[in-house]
Structure 1
Amino acid sequence: MPHNISLITTIAAALGFGLIFGMLAARLKLPPLVGYLAAGIMIGPATPGFVADVALAGQLAEIGVMLLMFGVGLHFSLKDLLEVRRIALPGAVLQIVVATAMGIGLSAMWGWSIGGGLVFGLALSVASTVVLLRALEDRGILGSLNGRIAVGWLVVEDLVTVLVLVLLPALSGFLGGTPAAPGSSLGATLAVTLGQVATFVALMLVVGRKLFPWFLWRVARTGSRELFTLAVVATAVGIAYGSSALFGVSFALGAFFAGMVLRESELSHELVELLRKRGFAAVAGDAAEPAVLIQAHIARAAVLVIATRDTFHVRAMIEVARALNPAIACVVRTHSEEEAQLLREDTNAVIVNDERELAHSMAQHAAAAFGKAAAPH
């Protein structure tokens, strides 16, 4: 056996303990994520027994966060974030200020310095991206209005965290810590940080929107599913790493922007052109825009089927469709019973709960197969 297998040992231990504690949590009617956290504590240095490689485990966790945020970004667009900015921006800033103030007050009761209290309060004020996104996904509301507000909230928190990590060293002398190096300017440090973040966002929205979809389209044309999967993973991890190494942006925020840029890219338009060349009547665009539905000949359509996971604009799509074609029937896919009830009341459409329909379909197939097996021959 090779002598240095710390990576394999860490992965095997993490997966094994995660499976065991995740199943225990599920048996106790708790989210599996609680079991995963318990598994991490068990193989960490804070408990006796086996201790995994903490440095490697941290890097593996970062990769998981990158892929998670990349997938979330694929369901969002810049327009989606701008639509919730009036809630997410002031809400996140207010929450950070209030939580930080509470942390400073609590630490002052313990006799901590103002600097220690500030760091403690800032740590309390930032939500866990993984925990929040997993909770939203489990409840099927990631694409809802509340889900979009929560994601926008996380983006604001990530941007504030970038600024905080840069400003704390420069302010360490005022906060009772080690003074910053002579010659360092707070204004210059802040300007450089804001410039790096602005440059990253501009490159992603201007250059990335053209370059990355072009690259993925070329890979897709090879016809290799393995190469395409590798290209997507490499794009997500590569952009996340580059954003951190070159611009000081967090891995999570870099991966989120990568996914969001790919969603807003012209790749969908290229796919539409390919479908048209093969004889299919295809249209690309936002179905909440009248021009897109007009191109799809909605005025002559009998049924509008909305099967996208994006439930945020469902009401707008139905309103536009019925304004152009009052007699059209609408069938909408949803992910939870609560969301289905709201859509029934607001849109008077036929609502299909995908999880329930999937369960019914599986039961029907199983019953049919059982009936055939039990029938006399």
Structure 2
Amino acid sequence: MHHEATLIATIAIAFVLAFGFGYVADRLRLPPLVGYLVAGILIGPYTPGFVADAGLSSQLAEVGVILLMFGVGLHFSTSDLLAVKGIAIPGAIGQIVLATLLGIGLCSLWGWSVGTGLVIGLSLSVASTVVLLKALEERNMVDSPNGRVAVGWLIVEDLAMVLALVLLPAFAEMLGGKPIQGHVPSDMPIALELVVTLSKVAAFAAIAILIGPKVVPWMLARVARTGSRELFTLSVLAVALGIAYGSAHIFGVSFALGAFFAGVVLSESSFSHKAAADSLPLQDAFSVLFFVSVGMLFDPTILYRSPGAVLSVLALIIFGKSLIAFAIIMLLRYPIGTGLVVSASLAQIGEFSFILIALGISAGLVPNEGRDLVVGGALFSIMLNPLVFHAVGLLQKRVARPAGTAFYGQRHYEALGRQLAIIKARQDERSKAHDLKLNSLLELFPMLQLVERQDQESLLLMFRPKSASPGDRVIRAGDRADGMYFISSGAVEVHVADRVFRLEAGAYFGEMALLTGERRTADVIAVDFCQFLVLDRRDFNQFMARHPGVRAAVASIAEERQAMNLAPPQSDRHDAPVESSDVRT
């Protein structure tokens, strides 16, 4: 295999096998991700046959995580995060601490050191956001209060793991390990280094929340005005990957967390739905590579070398973490249903676990068998997670109370539900207002309905609003054409040769000079308070080039106008209100 073809071979074989085994898994009534994991095992280094490039696979999987977290951010908002902070922050921190202690205790039974137990415990304490999102999406729970709590919980876990990745190299030797290769020891005290790290994360969050919503939507608006679909899609990917990469290298946060905040930045704008739709196919494709890459890390020999240890790790992930999370949620006085959903969400591990365990091996704290146990726990917990959610669904039905009766944690749950409902109503109102504005534009100017539906969003961005008072001269004969005018309200008079025509809301003028390249041949004067939507010369040319149907309609009307203007004047038409097709400007 030529070196140049390694990337192509890795992607092609991973997709082909993932498709094949994913389809078989679906026919067997199993989640397709089980097939993706099996495909990864088959192309991994521990099974015979083709071996994919593990480095490339992990990087491609990271792209999938970035895009998926970006998509989550698009459906989240800063308000959503603040709404669930009362349960997500104490819950996630408490669960990480207790699950890590369980991991230390388990490792002590195997005769491993406290340092080893700390790394493995942290690796087992953090769940995979990718797996959680797939599970919530399949059950239409991403926008539910319980789904919001679960996602917010994992965001807090991700933030905690960022700190763990910073502190582990600094404490490696103290825990009985060795200096990590490539890690430059800092002269700062540990406390100061921690403060610096927290300050960098806070600075990133502040920039993302305060400055991002002003800069990113403005940039995407400029791109959307071009009418180019591929350029808009490219801009969305540039925002997601660019912010993720920049945040990791400048502020030290993870790629996934940076991508999530990039989505949150964009969620407040009118482009969030279009950005989500454009990035969705890539999210799906690259998230498959994430599961394939997990399968590639698994060494099947661990199943007969240490079956008891694998089962112990799996029990800690599925039962230990879930029970801890459930107990914390009950202590915080939230409903049993919320506790069950969050518990099921945490009953698996993923991407951060692999990063932590790799760092532990580099520090000499974790033996290779520890890595195999963590990867094995990840593989089987991901496979079993759909069954855990199914069991939780059955439990929710068993504990459900008749309608109208009070339930445990009702006050907290209803308060959270009201907060999230207010946030959702604001988002829906903004989206509804945007749709109403677009529909009103299409109703007022039926010609624009010839534009394809997916491109109609860019119409509102391409138009420049302009107003005029009675007596204002909007267009002067002999001037160069600056744009095409659509009358949204008011009325104007068009003075051409010895004729005067009146145009009202729903009419347009100024297109003839743009089509012919000639100077204006008429004066247009406002006779009422007018509001115009102006399509500037450059936007007009781009818009007409991309929408030949509209151009043909405009050209046809322009020909009619030209013929009418050349016709002998008729006295009975003087000062008579006419349609927009009766005038040449």
Q: TM-score, normalised by structure 2?
A: 0.45
Bigger-Rg structure (1/2): 2
Q: Which amino acid aligns with 2:115?
A: G
Shift of 1:3: 5.0
5+ long unaligned stretches in structure 1: 269-284, 297-377
SS at match of 1:153: helix
Question: How far does the alpha carbon of each residue in 1:78-104 deviate from its partner, in whole angstroms, 9 at most, with x for none?
Answer: 111111111111111111111111110
Contact 2:78 2:209 survives alignment (8 Å): no
CA distance in 2, matches of 1:245, 1:108: 36
Question: How far does the alpha carbon of each residue in 1:28-68 deviate from its partner, in whole angstroms, 9 at most, with x for none?
Answer: 21111111112112111122211101111111001111111
CA distance in 1, matches of 2:424, 2:88: 25
Of 227, 239, 245, which aligns to 1:235? Answer: 239
Report the equivalent of 1:176.
176
Contact 1:210 1:266 survives alignment (8 Å): no
Shift of 1:150: 1.0
Shift of 1:178: 2.3
Aligned length: 278
CA distance in 1, matches of 2:246, 2:27: 41
Shift of 1:111: 0.5
CA distance in 2, matches of 1:202, 1:101: 33
Rate the CA distance shift 1:2–1:140 in 2: closer, same or farther, 3 A: same
Rate the CA distance shift 1:25–1:169 in 2: closer, same or farther, 3 A: same
CA distance in 1, matches of 2:113, 2:67: 38
Report the equivalent of 1:288.
425
Contact 1:209 1:266 survives alignment (8 Å): no
Please say which of residues 196-205 and 169-178 is displaced more in the overlay: 169-178
Report the equivalent of 2:205.
201
Shift of 1:188: 1.9
Contact 2:248 2:258 survives alignment (8 Å): yes
1:98 and 2:98 correspond: yes
CA distance in 2, matches of 1:93, 1:6: 42
Of 191, 194, 197, which aligns to 1:190? Answer: 194
CA distance in 2, matches of 1:2, 1:41: 23
Shift of 1:115: 0.5
Question: How far does the alpha carbon of each residue in 1:136-175 deviate from its partner, in whole angstroms, 9 at most, with x for none?
Answer: 1011101111110111011101100000011111112321
Query: Which structure ranks higher in relative contact order (CA pairs < 8 Å, sequence separation ≥ 6)?
Result: 2
1:217 and 2:214 correspond: no
CA distance in 2, matches of 1:109, 1:10: 40
RMSD: 2.3
Rate the CA distance shift 1:287–1:245 in 2: closer, same or farther, 3 A: closer
Rate the CA distance shift 1:229–1:189 in 2: closer, same or farther, 3 A: same
Report the equivalent of 1:49.
49
Contact 2:79 2:423 survives alignment (8 Å): no
SS at match of 1:161: helix
After superposition, residues 72-151 of structure 1 pair within 5 angstroms as 72-151=72-151
Report the equivalent of 2:38.
38
CA distance in 2, matches of 1:182, 1:217: 43
After superposition, residues 237-316 of structure 1 pair within 5 angstroms as 237-265=241-269, 288=425
Please say which of residues 76-85 and 257-266 is displaced more in the overlay: 257-266
Q: TM-score, normalised by structure 1?
A: 0.70
CA distance in 1, matches of 2:126, 2:425: 34
Q: Which amino acid aligns with 1:245?
A: H
SS at match of 1:288: helix
Q: Which amino acid aligns with 2:56?
A: L
Shift of 1:260: 0.7
SS at match of 2:51: coil
CA distance in 2, matches of 1:251, 1:65: 8
Contact 1:214 1:267 survives alignment (8 Å): no
Rate the CA distance shift 1:209–1:120 in 2: closer, same or farther, 3 A: same
Shift of 1:184: 4.3
Shift of 1:179: 6.0
Identity %: 63
Contact 2:80 2:423 survives alignment (8 Å): no
CA distance in 1, matches of 2:156, 2:174: 26
Shift of 1:267: 6.0
5+ long unaligned stretches in structure 2: 273-421, 434-585
Contact 1:170 1:184 survives alignment (8 Å): no
